Structure 1
Amino acid sequence: MNRPLDADEPEEFRVDRPVDVLIPTRNRPAELAVTLSGLAAQEGVPGFGVAVSDQSDGDPGYAHPAAATMVRALRHRGHPVLLTRRLPRRGLAEHRAYLLAASAARLVLCLDDDVWLEPGTLRRLVTAIDELGCGFVGNAVHGLSYLDDVRPDTHRHYREWTGRPVPERIRPGSPEWDRAQIHSAANLLHVTEALALPAGSWRAYRVSWIGGCVLYDRTKLVDSGGFEFWRGLPERHQGEDVAAQLAVLARHGGAGVLPSGAYHLESPTTVTDRDVEAWEAVLADADADA
């Protein structure tokens, strides 16, 4: 019989450590268990923390025996795990803002609850952001069911940074905005295979935004506004990650990292009410102020 989990205390979790992983979740106990299992297998980044905030309609996903076991495995391996509930729901951006406020780490990985990370992924992302000195780096998620669906027309959007990323102001309709096409399906896997990188090497490339797995310099994210724009949004929105990344790109720059060790579980979305694109509203306000 699975015993109840200790949820941990927010005051004890919020300490100055190198990295925290922030996971918002809702109605996905199986996916959450897989996501946590990927984190439990990470090495080379000792003592990173994990904060899980649940907004499920019933019992929290982390109460499921499989997810609870992964929480215990993380703690057993020396990783503090904060388990919280954030109800009532006020939208995706507010949920991310809540998680960000729960962390005092130098770096924060915003990880969706349906992404499995292969071993070595977190270490590579931390190495990349430390070397590049930008606001964020990320791993676009692979959809392995598309592995045989090769789309060479998207590969032209892959362009590497030859030095440190610089700030970029990116807007819809620009050539830079189309960079996101390389992250659909399994496109990035096909680009990676074509490059045939030596073992252990990585490349930084230009992005407009990355979904699912993004490591931020927390100070630079907060300096760019974080997710506080939630206050001006209706509850039913999506694209909050895009809005935050565009703001960080404009101030501090950002990059995708290849190879990506992030794999999408391809489960049905739990965000079914999408009345507003957060990035559209935030960009409209920012451009009006400018």
Structure 2
Amino acid sequence: MTAAPRPDPAGRRPLDPGTPTGFRAPRLLDVLIPTRNRAAELAVTLAGLAAQHPPGTAPENAAGAAPDGTAAFGVVVSDQSDGEPGWAQPAAAAMVRVLRHRGHPVLLTRRLPRRGLAEHRAYLLDASAARYVLYLDDDVWLEPGTVDRLLTAIRQLGCGFVGNAVHGLSYLDDVRPETHRHYCEWDGPPAPERLAPGTPEWDRAQIHSAANLLHVTSARRLPPGQWRAYKVSWIGGCVLYDRARLRAAGGFDFWTRLDPGHQGEDVAAQLAVMGRYAGAGVLPSGAYHLEAPTTVTERSQEAWEVTARSGRPPPPAPPPPVRR
């Protein structure tokens, strides 16, 4: 005889994970969150999303509402924790309920066994049919207005991706002026670039360490509501893609060429997109790193090195029609 399930000590009702078919819809935006062994951090990340303005409604937004009338973005959380999924823990589950209460569809999934970071991101991409997808790490808090600003930027710039590099506030008093020279704004629409190690362009990544970008932002004294697009090598933690262009550049399908213990899968994908459709960082950044211990303990390969050695870079291609 099967024992009856124990009642939740706090009296909570079970959390509905949702279904892939019920979630997948042609929205303006889906936020994709891969997570593992970070229940507390995931709750903070979801709380940041729950406090975002619906796209097109932020006071500083200059682009107006989405032409398709879409107001609420969707959220996919895919968990690879060793035990119970992080989204089942009380704080994270509460934020899932808040998101749904505010009109955001949320899909909660598990992706096991683990096959590596790139495969996990490929799985998340397959879950979405949105115009844009925002890959958000599970240890990043977004200040209100961040999602709206990123959407405004990618639609005005017409490039393959934009992103907000994450700030590490424990480094707020650690000013590194020697890194500031790597900051360079786009003068006009971003153009496709092919980057390689050992070049000045590759060293742009230094601007994203510690709190460097926050110091650069402070020096520019932008008026409220203003933003700038700048040149990047890659961006970690918070990257918004045009989904069709990410797909056209190969997405994360290169995961089959990697060992499960790899890193740099986001770098590989961004280099491919940048080579065809261009990419940009957006200043100011509203993304803040929680500075939690890493859960990526296996680092046997750099994904971008493997894709670079393949000798099969994606050929330049004309961009698809811009749908704004």
TM range (shorter): over 0.9
After TM superposition, give the deviation of residue 283 of structure 1 in Å.
1.0
Q: Residue 118 of structure 1 aligns to which amino acid in structure 2?
A: E
Matched, 1:207 2:232: yes
Aligned runs of 1:7-86 on 2, under 5 Å? 7-45=17-55, 46-86=71-111
Say whether the 8 Å CA contact 2:207–2:213 is kept in structure 1.
yes
Deviation by residue 1:225-261 (Cα, 9 ceiling, x = unmatched) = 0000001101000000000000000000000000000
SS of the residue corresponding to residue 108 of structure 2 reads strand
Say whether the 8 Å CA contact 2:261–2:299 is kept in structure 1.
yes
Q: Residue 33 of structure 1 aligns to which amino acid in structure 2?
A: A
Structure 2: where are the runs of 5+ without partners?
Answer: 1-9, 56-70, 316-324
Q: What corresponds to 1:93 in structure 2? A: 118
Q: Distance in 2 between matches of 1:63 and 1:32?
A: 11
Q: Residue 287 of structure 2 aligns to which amino acid in structure 1?
A: A
Identical residues among aligned pairs (%) = 74
Q: What corresponds to 1:156 in structure 2? A: 181
Q: What corresponds to 2:196 in structure 1? A: 171
Matched, 1:5 2:15: yes
SS of the residue corresponding to residue 110 of structure 1 reads strand
After TM superposition, give the deviation of residue 214 of structure 1 in Å.
0.1
Q: Which structure: larger Rg? A: 2
TM-score normalised to structure 2 length:
0.88
> In the alignment, which of 120, 134, 138 is matched to residue 163 of structure 2?
138
After TM superposition, give the deviation of residue 3 of structure 1 in Å.
2.3
Q: Distance in 2 between matches of 1:277 and 1:106?
A: 29
Q: Residue 110 of structure 1 aligns to which amino acid in structure 2?
A: Y
Aligned runs of 1:269-284 on 2, under 5 Å? 269-284=294-309
Deviation by residue 1:125-163 (Cα, 9 ceiling, x = unmatched) = 000000000000000000000000000000000000011
Say whether the 8 Å CA contact 2:262–2:303 is kept in structure 1.
yes
Q: Distance in 1 between matches of 2:40 and 2:311?
A: 39
Counting helix residues as a fraction of each chain, which structure ranks higher? 1
After TM superposition, give the deviation of residue 179 of structure 1 in Å.
0.3
SS of the residue corresponding to residue 281 of structure 1 reads helix
TM-score normalised to structure 1 length:
0.99
Q: Residue 114 of structure 1 aligns to which amino acid in structure 2?
A: D
Q: Residue 13 of structure 1 aligns to which amino acid in structure 2?
A: F
Q: Distance in 2 between matches of 1:261 and 1:91?
A: 28
> In the alignment, which of 142, 145, 151 is matched to residue 117 of structure 1?
142
Could you list the runs of 4 or more consecutive aligned residues of structure 1 that deviate by over 2 angstroms after TM superposition?
A: 286-290
Q: Distance in 1 between matches of 2:31 and 2:160?
A: 16
Q: Residue 281 of structure 1 aligns to which amino acid in structure 2?
A: V
Structure 1 residues 288 and 220, CA gap change in structure 2 (3 angstroms): closer
State the number of aligned residues.
Answer: 290
Q: Distance in 2 between matches of 1:36 and 1:192?
A: 25
